[in-house]
């Protein structure tokens, strides 16, 4: 035997599920949500998706080249960030907005901290919030959904369901003036909103796949959505005239996307089951607080980012019980 | 089914050898019997170059209680006490080199006819001790020490470990199938030594044939318990937890909860020693993996060079890149064909390049898979990050020393981090620091 | 308006009160010696001592009596005063630098296997004793580089660490970190070093390293200053830098080329108008490199001079200078 023989510490076998495999699974799981967005919002949405994915990959490669780090675009994490970013943008977002978003997501959200694994905040959400604050007009211009087959040249803009109720409560003090939104439309995605957040069904399908593949555990989505349901339910029971019903809250806005794909981001969520539960409940509470009383109609992005900041603290507080520890 | 918290499910890969009957390996011209084949104080050689030795003859005297002697695997001439590569450390270590004469004649008085069930416990323990028996699952802790618990730690539960949870390996499995009575009788000797009226034989559910054989052969005093298939089910602490529901305290020993675990192979060796005085000079081991031409279970003399073992099993495939003593999860990679089989060699695993991941590791992505997998309830993610920076002092507060190095964390890690290596590294640094401290005092 | 003034003023007052109370109750009283030592230290916070700054170093000195006097920027007098304050002897050594005693670069020394795992020599040593065929040689994974607080040692492409002498403060961190004990500290002005620590026999070394010391002891025999110590345990001889004059005879005689020059010895010349022709230099020169007639200026034969500098030390008139000095 010679230098050809390989010697390393045990274990000598590895699970085939490496980072690249995980990222591929996440991409598969995101495809239904993105596809529904493209179906309802047409070519502009499709452009947002590919521009976002490509620019995230390019930005990652460029930054790593510049910093002399190994280029890791093959692990697929930049593509996932790109896809998530696209799904968090308005379907009609101009291309430059998408590119800025990619720069922020990969640059400020990820690489400044040292790359994948070292970022405290979800990169796609960092970009979304950055854009929302910097370009409020572009970021809140929502296309009205129209199935691809009946697409016409001129896009029509409208409001999101959450935006509509926020405005109604603000202007009139009650929900009475809001037109009826069918839960079925919310479920299928036939409403205004970010590209990939509209269809609860597609996102649940994708999320279920990730849970089945054991890439995410069920704790975060269930506790996150559950918290939102219970909390909005309580306020709806107290005053249904001002507070929308919990079913509406659960299926509208970015909650499904956030609960299944953003809050469960491996890097920026706690590692233990207990930690995940605490994290998810925190996300739920902050989301509801922002939705019901905040200045913004939607609070999913903020709530997850805020809870991201607490992850190290949660991890510290939820250390598993060591085998054989005195109790 | 009985089990424990955490753990992983790597592919078993056992069907390469578990259907193959044990073959006895023929004599080879040269044996290298390492003096240090156990945990504890080294043994002192009692033969010198030119001595003629017989099979079973004592080659070394143990130094102290936690130590074990080694015996001549066959008859022949001692070439000398030389420096050979040790399969565990990879460094030179003293060994007795014997040139076989091909006669294979026993030393005078062996094998003898003994009736262990009319002997005193202490007599049996000294038989075990003089036979050089150590834990044959791989840990190689001297068996007589485990059979001599201190007065204040009475043993009330004995588990015969037939779990063999390491993927690929099937040596214990074949032993239980083909020679169940050696295992059972050895277990009964242990029960006699400790004055126990019952015992549990633990077998993983992936060996239903062994379970059937054992259920048929065991006396009423031994209960066969089928355990769920999960790695590391055969680890001492996890086994005790699964079978008895007792948790060995952090930093403690099984005897702290009144439990004793012996590997099936060790039981068979105990029986040989106590029924016919035969010392531990051979063992059953699985030679397997995608890189070996003819996977086999072999009965091999202690001291047989790896080169001969490989040759007996048809040689290695073209793409063989890794040779491991033990299983794929906790075994030790070898770099030289000149190492020899020891008492703890539960398997010889040769992996082809397709089974070996050569990719380098990246940053931890905090996915928490290792935390879920850790059977000890540790935070391997944190330990690996600390290990990367050699921060062993901080790691101690994350229960560094509780790690059993089972490898579950590194197996599941998608970032391919060598977590166990980081942990071994920090343990070594910590031991080094405390040795320095002792020296300074 | 008034309301706002009261609120802000009130908040300010309460905060001030809290801070004031905290300053008194939680005050940390440093050892008075610490303050005095801090005054003696240069206060440049250069970090050369390996601590976060002068204050941290002063603290360490007071806390742990074994702390070495690692400050390279104070004079002997200051060290004396610090010793007095601490009530202990502080060893004042000349500036030291790390010296890597292995020349087994990639092309000269082979590997037994390919290693996969942490890039840390201490960790690599744990699997099969390290991948290098020579079990004494440098593993080249750069743990010395990693631990060096001054960025003064770097592993080159040849797999061997090099010390940046200008940055090295002789703190010894790398010496402790190297699992193979290859690095030692030598005086900064050291000229030569035997760069091998292998006790392997020439026979074993044949398959492991092209440059390792074969213990032929030619260097020991040739040294005019008796400055090469023979090791008892089969290790290569070691140069006693205190006695070595840097004549580099040993470098020329080593058949393995494992004795390395850190700096080129500087030959000498005699300043004619200062030389009184006393012949002392001729007598002390071990190389017969100086000749002349009494009471006439002597001359140095530059071909023979090896720059040991004995004559420079002995000349009563300071008439001999190193070549290149003004």
Domain final position from A104, A139, A174 = A139
Triad B295, B298, B304: Cα angle to 5°: 110
* Residue from A4, A268, A324 to probe the interface with B (highest B Cβ count within 10 Å): A324
The predicted model scores a pTM of 0.89
A7–B363 C-beta distance less than 8 A: no
Q: Do residues A90 and A182 both lie within one domain?
A: no
Looking at per-residue pLDDT, the higher value among A213 and C75 belongs to A213
Burial of residue C266 (number of CB atoms within 10 Å: 0-12, 13-18, 19+): middle
Do the Cβ atoms of B235 and A324 come closer than 8 Å? no
**pLDDT tens-digit map of B375-403:** 999 999 999 999 999 999 999 999 999 99
Q: Do residues A176 and A306 both lie within one domain?
A: yes
Of B332, B388, B429, the CB nearest to C118: B388
Distance from CA of A69 to the nearest CA of C (A): 16
Stretch B144-169: mean pLDDT: 92
Distance from CA of A86 to the nearest CA of B (A): 22
Classified as helix, coil or strand, B60 is: strand
Stretch B401-411: mean pLDDT: 95
Stretch A133-152: mean pLDDT: 78
Place of tokens 């916070």: C45
C112–B421 C-beta distance less than 8 A: no
pLDDT of the residue at B211: 95
A327–B contact, CB cutoff 8 A: no
Q: Do residues A48 and A182 both lie within one domain?
A: no
Do the Cβ atoms of B357 and A14 come closer than 8 Å? yes
Q: Do residues A263 and A307 both lie within one domain?
A: yes
Residues of C contacting chain A (CB within 8 angstroms): 110-117, 126-128, 131
pLDDT of the residue at A1: 41
Domain that holds residue C77: 24-93
Q: Is residue C284 part of a domain?
A: yes
pLDDT of the residue at C33: 83
Q: Name the closest residue on chain B to residue A264, using Cα atoms.
A: B367
Distance from CA of C112 to the nearest CA of A (A): 5
**pLDDT tens-digit map of B47-98:** 999 999 999 999 999 888 889 999 999 999 999 999 999 999 888 899 999 9
A15–B412 C-beta distance less than 8 A: yes
Chain C residues with beta carbon closer than 8 angstroms to that of A5: 113-114
Residue extents of the structural domains in chain B: 116-276, 369-440
**Predicted confidence band of residue A106 (pLDDT cuts 50, 70, 90):** very high
ipTM for the assembly: 0.89
A312–B contact, CB cutoff 8 A: no
Instruction: Examine the pLDDT at C263 and tell me if it is beyond 70.
Output: yes
Distance from CA of C263 to the nearest CA of A (A): 34
Domain final position from C50, C75, C93 = C93
A11–B328 C-beta distance less than 8 A: yes
Classified as helix, coil or strand, A200 is: helix
- Chains touching chain B, criterion 3+ CB pairs below 8 Å: A, C
| 3-state SS track over chain C | CHHHHHHHHHHHHHHHHHHHHHHHHCCCCCCHHHHHHHHHCCCCCCCCCCCCCHHHHHHHHHHCCCCCCCCCCCCHHHHHHHHHHHCCCCCCCCCEEEEECCCCCCCCECECCEEECCCCHHHHCCCCCCCECCCCCCCCCCHHHHHCCCCCEEECCCCCEEECCCCCCCCCHHHHHCCCCCEEEEECCCCEEECCCCCCCHHHHCCCECCCCCCCCHHHHHCCCCCEECCCCCCCCEECCCCCCCCCHHHHHCCCCCEEECCCCCCEEECCCCCCCCCHHHHHCCCCCEECCCCCCCEECCCCCCCCCHHHHHCCCCCEEECCCC
Number of folded domains that form chain A: 2
Q: Do residues A287 and A225 both lie within one domain?
A: yes
Highest mean pLDDT among A261-270, C164-173, C187-196: A261-270
pLDDT of the residue at A149: 58
Round to whole Å and give the CA distance between A323 and B377: 5
Instruction: Examine the pLDDT at C64 and tell me if it is beyond 50.
Output: yes
Find, among B360, B292, B350, B345, the residue nearest to B321 by Cα. B350
C110–A7 C-beta distance less than 8 A: no
pLDDT of the residue at A311: 95
Chain C residues with beta carbon closer than 8 angstroms to that of A13: none
Of C110, C111, C117, the CB nearest to A8: C117
Q: Which two tokens stand for residue C23?
A: 């300053």
Of A4, A5, A12, the CB nearest to B328: A12
Q: Do residues A130 and A185 both lie within one domain?
A: no
Interface A–C counts its CB contacts (< 8 A) at 28
- Chains touching chain A, criterion 3+ CB pairs below 8 Å: B, C
Chain C residues with beta carbon closer than 8 angstroms to that of B387: 118, 123
pLDDT of the residue at B341: 95
pLDDT of the residue at C326: 47
**pLDDT tens-digit map of B242-299:** 999 999 999 899 999 999 999 999 999 999 999 999 999 999 999 999 999 999 999 9
Q: Which two tokens stand for residue B206?
A: 């992936």
Q: Do residues A301 and A170 both lie within one domain?
A: yes
Looking at per-residue pLDDT, the higher value among C202 and B224 belongs to B224
pLDDT of the residue at C325: 58
Distance from CA of A94 to the nearest CA of B (A): 32
Q: Is residue A63 part of a domain?
A: yes
Distance from CA of B367 to the nearest CA of C (A): 20
Domain B116-276 has CATH 3.40.50.11540: yes
Proportion of chain C above pLDDT 90, given as a percent:
22
Number of folded domains that form chain C: 2
Instruction: Examine the pLDDT at A150 and tell me if it is beyond 80.
Output: no
Stretch A282-293: mean pLDDT: 94
pLDDT of the residue at A155: 59
Q: Which two tokens stand for residue A177?
A: 């003036």
Distance from CA of A21 to the nearest CA of B (A): 8
Q: Tell me the pairing of strands B332-334 and B320-325.
A: antiparallel
Of B241, B335, B365, the CB nearest to A7: B335
Instruction: Examine the pLDDT at C251 and tell me if it is beyond 60.
Output: yes
Domain final position from C93, C112, C141 = C93
Q: Is residue A12 part of a domain?
A: no
Find, among B316, B288, B343, B21, the residue nearest to B169 by Cα. B288
- Chains touching chain C, criterion 3+ CB pairs below 8 Å: A, B
pLDDT of the residue at A128: 94
Q: Do residues A187 and A92 both lie within one domain?
A: no
Find, among A226, A238, A216, A256, the residue nearest to A292 by Cα. A238
Domain that holds residue A119: 19-139
A272–B contact, CB cutoff 8 A: yes
Instruction: Examine the pLDDT at C54 and tell me if it is beyond 90.
Output: no
Round to whole Å and give the CA distance between A79 and A87: 12
Q: Is residue C60 part of a domain?
A: yes
Mean pLDDT of chain B: 92
Q: Tell me the pairing of strands C96-100 and C114-116.
A: unpaired
pLDDT of the residue at C48: 65
Q: Do residues A265 and A186 both lie within one domain?
A: yes
B91–C129 C-beta distance less than 8 A: yes
Q: Do residues A216 and A102 both lie within one domain?
A: no
Chain B residues with beta carbon closer than 8 angstroms to that of A310: none
Q: Do residues A192 and A297 both lie within one domain?
A: yes
A8–B412 C-beta distance less than 8 A: no
Round to whole Å and give the CA distance between B108 and B112: 9
Q: Do residues A232 and A118 both lie within one domain?
A: no
Chain C residues with beta carbon closer than 8 angstroms to that of A4: 114
Interface B–C counts its CB contacts (< 8 A) at 44
């Amino acid at each position: 035997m010679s230098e050809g023989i390989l010697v390393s510490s045990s274990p000598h076998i590895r699970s085939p599920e490496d980072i690249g495999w995980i990222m591929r699974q996440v991409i598969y799981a995101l495809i239904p949500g993105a596809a529904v967005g493209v179906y309802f919002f047409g070519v502009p949405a499709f452009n947002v998706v590919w521009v976002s994915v490509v620019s995230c990959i390019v930005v990652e490669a460029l930054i790593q080249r510049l910093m002399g780090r190994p280029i890791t675009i093959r692990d697929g994490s930049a593509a996932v960030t790109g896809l998530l970013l696209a799904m968090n943008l308005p379907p009609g977002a101009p291309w430059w907005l998408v590119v800025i978003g990619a720069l922020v997501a990969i640059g400020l959200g990820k690489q400044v901290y040292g790359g994948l694994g070292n970022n405290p905040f979800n990169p796609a959400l960092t970009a979304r919030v950055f854009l929302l604050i910097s370009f409020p007009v572009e970021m809140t211009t929502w296309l009205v959904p129209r199935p691809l087959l009946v697409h016409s040249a001129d896009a029509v803009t409208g409001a999101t369901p959450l935006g509509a109720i926020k405005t109604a409560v603000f202007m009139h003090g009650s929900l009475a003036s809001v037109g009826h939104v069918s839960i079925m439309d919310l479920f299928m995605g036939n409403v205004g909103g970010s590209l990939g957040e509209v269809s609860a069904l597609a996102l649940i399908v994708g999320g279920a796949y990730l849970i089945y593949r054991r890439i995410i555990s069920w704790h975060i989505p269930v506790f996150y959505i559950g918290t939102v349901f219970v909390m909005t339910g309580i306020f709806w029971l107290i005053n249904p005239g001002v507070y929308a019903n919990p079913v509406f809250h659960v299926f509208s806005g970015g909650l499904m996307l956030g609960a299944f794909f953003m809050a469960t981001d491996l890097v920026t969520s706690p590692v233990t089951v207990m930690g995940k539960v605490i994290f998810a409940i925190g996300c739920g509470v902050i989301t509801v607080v922002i939705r019901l009383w905040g200045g913004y109609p939607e609070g999913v992005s903020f709530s997850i980012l805020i809870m991201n900041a607490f992850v190290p603290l949660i991890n510290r507080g939820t250390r598993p019980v060591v085998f054989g520890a005195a109790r | 089914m009985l089990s424990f918290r955490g753990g992983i499910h790597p592919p078993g890969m056992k069907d390469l050898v578990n259907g193959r009957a044990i073959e006895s390996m023929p004599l080879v011209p040269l044996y290298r019997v390492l003096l240090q084949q156990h945990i504890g104080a080294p043994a002192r050689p009692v033969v010198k170059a030119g001595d003629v030795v017989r099979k079973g003859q004592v080659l070394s005297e143990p130094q102290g209680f936690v130590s074990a002697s080694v015996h001549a695997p066959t008859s022949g001439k001692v070439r000398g006490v030389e420096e050979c590569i040790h399969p565990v450390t990879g460094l030179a270590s003293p060994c007795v080199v014997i040139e076989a004469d091909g006669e294979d004649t026993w030393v005078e008085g062996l094998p003898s006819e003994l009736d262990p069930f009319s002997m005193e416990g202490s007599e049996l323990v000294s038989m075990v001790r003089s036979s050089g028996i150590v834990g044959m699952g791989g840990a190689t802790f001297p068996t007589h020490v485990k059979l001599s618990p201190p007065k204040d730690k009475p043993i009330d539960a004995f588990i015969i470990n037939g779990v063999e949870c390491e993927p690929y390996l099937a040596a214990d499995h074949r032993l239980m199938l083909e020679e169940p009575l050696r295992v059972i009788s050895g277990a009964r000797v242990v029960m006699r030594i400790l004055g126990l009226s019952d015992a549990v034989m633990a077998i993983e559910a992936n060996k239903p044939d062994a379970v059937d054989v054992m259920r048929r052969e065991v006396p009423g005093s031994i209960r066969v318990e089928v355990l769920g298939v999960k790695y590391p089910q055969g680890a001492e602490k996890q086994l005790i937890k699964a079978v008895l529901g007792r948790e060995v305290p952090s930093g403690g020993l099984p005897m702290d909860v009144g439990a004793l675990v012996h590997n099936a192979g060790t039981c068979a060796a105990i029986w040989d020693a106590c029924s016919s005085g035969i010392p531990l000079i051979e063992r059953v081991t699985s030679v397997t993996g995608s890189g070996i031409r003819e996977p086999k279970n072999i009965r091999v003399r202690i001291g047989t060079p790896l080169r001969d073992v490989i040759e007996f099993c048809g040689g290695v495939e073209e793409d063989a890149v890794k040779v491991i003593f033990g299983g794929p999860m906790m075994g030790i990679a070898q770099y030289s064909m000149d190492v020899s089989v020891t008492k703890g060699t539960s398997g010889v695993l040769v992996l082809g390049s397709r089974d070996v991941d050569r990719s380098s590791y990246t940053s931890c992505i905090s996915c928490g898979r290792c935390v879920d997998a850790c059977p000890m309830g540790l935070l391997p993610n944190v330990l690996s990050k600390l290990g990367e920076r050699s921060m062993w002092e901080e790691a101690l507060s994350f229960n560094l020393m509780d790690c059993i190095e089972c490898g579950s964390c590194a197996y599941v890690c998608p970032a391919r981090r060598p977590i166990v290596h980081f942990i071994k590294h920090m343990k070594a640094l910590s031991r080094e620091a405390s040795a320095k401290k002792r020296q300074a005092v | 308006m008034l309301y706002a003034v009261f609120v802000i003023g009130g908040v300010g007052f309460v905060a001030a009160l809290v801070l004031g109370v905290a300053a008194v109750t939680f005050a940390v009283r440093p050892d008075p010696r610490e303050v005095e030592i801090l005054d003696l230290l240069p206060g440049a916070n250069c970090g050369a001592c390996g601590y976060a700054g002068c204050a941290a170093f002063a603290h360490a000195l007071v806390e742990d009596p074994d702390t070495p006097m690692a400050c390279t920027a104070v004079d002997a007098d200051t060290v004396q005063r610090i010793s007095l304050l601490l009530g202990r002897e502080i060893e004042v050594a000349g500036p030291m630098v790390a010296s890597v005693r292995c020349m087994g670069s990639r092309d000269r020394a082979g590997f037994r296997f390919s290693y996969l795992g942490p890039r840390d020599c201490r960790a690599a040593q744990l699997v099969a004793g390290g991948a290098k065929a020579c079990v004494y040689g440098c593993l080249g994974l750069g743990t010395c580089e990693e631990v060096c607080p001054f960025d003064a040692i770097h592993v080159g492409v040849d797999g061997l660490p090099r010390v940046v002498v200008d940055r090295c403060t002789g703190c010894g961190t790398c010496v402790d970190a190297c699992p193979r004990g290859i690095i030692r500290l030598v005086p900064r002005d050291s000229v030569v070093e035997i760069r091998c620590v292998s006790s392997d026999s020439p026979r074993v070394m044949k398959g492991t390293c092209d440059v390792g010391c074969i213990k032929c002891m030619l260097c020991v025999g040739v040294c005019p200053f008796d400055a090469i110590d023979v090791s008892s345990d089969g290790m290569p001889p070691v140069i006693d830098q205190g006695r070595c004059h840097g004549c580099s005879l040993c470098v020329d005689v080593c058949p393995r080329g494992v004795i390395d020059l850190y700096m080129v010895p500087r030959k000498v010349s005699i300043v004619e108008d200062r030389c009184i022709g006393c012949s002392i230099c001729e007598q002390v020169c071990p190389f017969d490199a100086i000749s002349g007639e009494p009471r006439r200026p002597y001359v140095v034969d530059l071909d023979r001079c090896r720059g040991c500098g004995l004559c420079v030390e002995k000349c009563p008139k300071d008439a001999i200078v190193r070549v290149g000095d003004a």
